[in-house]
Amino acid sequence: MGTLSKWLRITVYGSLMSLILTSCNTDHLASSSVATSSFTIQSGERLMHKTSKSVRVTPSDTSEYPIHPDHLADEIIKGNYEQIYSQTSQAFKQEVPWDTFLKVLSSFGDSVKGYQAISELKQDHTIRKVWIDEQHRRGIVAVFANQLPDYPDQTILGLRINDLEQYPATDHSQTQTIFSPPIQQNWQVVWGGSNALVNYHYEYPNQRYAYDLIVTQNGSSYRGNAKKNQSYFAFGRPVTAPADGKIVKVVNDIADNQPVGTTNEQQPAGNYVVIQHANREYSMLAHFRHNSIQVQVGDTVKRGQVIGQCGNSGNSSEPHIHFQVMDQANWAESTSLPVQFANHFSPIQGETMYPSL
């Protein structure tokens, strides 16, 4: 899969954001979006459901649910499938018949003794939780309503169960260079970590350990008109060099996507910078604001130096930073490297990345 890549695309329709994976090549990006209701069973992916904000809840769905989001994985192990199914949204039930739901869950849970919660992401009136089993071979992702209009709290909007791939040869290694987060304020990790449930880049060698970062306030990444880049808290914020190095690649002339939600699939990275560091390690920062990059090829930069502003260029549908470290300057042909931050901190999806690392 040397030429395959995945780029973050967060599409927000109204107040609901659902995280869905789609494979792509170097001219496209993976999509993470709310879509019309659908259900698929694919190789390695036992259950996926996408929800649409256009589906309204009937009165029969408004009862209190006894299964708290924290306890869903335990209830799957116990085989409490009927109660879980009753807690799903009306759209889910319309797409996923009970017999299918029962068959999939019962066949998946036959050998798992326990799950550990590893990630929780609260955003846009939803809670996205991730669990993995003790052997790190299987995982669960569930999306719950959280003060979401038209849905009772704790309604299960989406459920996905996966067999997990592992790459232990690189998962337990780190860069020789100690990097700092490329930010001056606190940012939230939307994608990041060492499995595909918390970091969908993970399935692709050239972006396996990449991070996608946004800024949130009160559980939302924007205020006001969701179609305007200026409404997003991340847009225009400074992006900094993660370590000392030399600039070896700059693209700075690509327009930001407007309105938010449109994308540029022909230039997936948008405006981006590649920095050469010591130890033959290269960092890449992507989706800069149009004409905001302040460095040129050949410049030397210091850790923490401002190099540009966060934007929404390329195949991105919301302002964010894509940050990764790799073994060569050509990101499409590179091998992604796990980033070593100071204090041995390795943030994953749902956690805060602090500038002081």
What pTM did the predictor assign? 0.82
User: In this structure, are 141 and 229 located in the same domain?
Assistant: no
**108 and 218: one domain?**
no
Q: How far is CA 111 from CA 46, 135, 138, in A?
A: 15, 11, 10
The band of 110, judged by pLDDT with boundaries at 50, 70 and 90, is: low
In a domain, 132, yes or no: yes
Say whether both 305 and 197 belong to one domain.
yes
Report the pLDDT value the prediction gives residue 111, as an integer from 0 to 100: 73
Number of domains observed in the structure of the chain: 2
pLDDT digits (tens, 9 = 90+) for 181-238: 999 999 999 999 999 999 989 999 999 999 999 999 998 999 999 999 999 999 999 9
pLDDT higher at 11 or 284: 284
Distance, CA of 288 to CA of 182 (rounded, Å): 12
What is the length of the chain?
A: 357
Cα 115 to Cα 77: distance, rounded to the nearest angstrom? 8
Q: Is 60 exposed, middle or buried (0-12, 13-18, 19+ CB in 10 A)?
A: exposed
By CB atoms closer than 10 A (0-12, 13-18, 19+), residue 280 is: exposed
Domain that holds residue 109: 37-163
Does some domain include residue 23?
no
Q: Identify the band that residue 339 occupies on the pLDDT scale cut at 50, 70 and 90.
A: very high
| Integer Cα distance of 275 and 304 in angstroms | 13
Last residue of a domain, one of 163, 189, 222: 163
Q: Which residue has the higher pLDDT, 271 or 33?
A: 271
Indicate whether 25 pLDDT > 80: no
Q: In this predicted structure, what is the pLDDT of residue 108?
A: 75
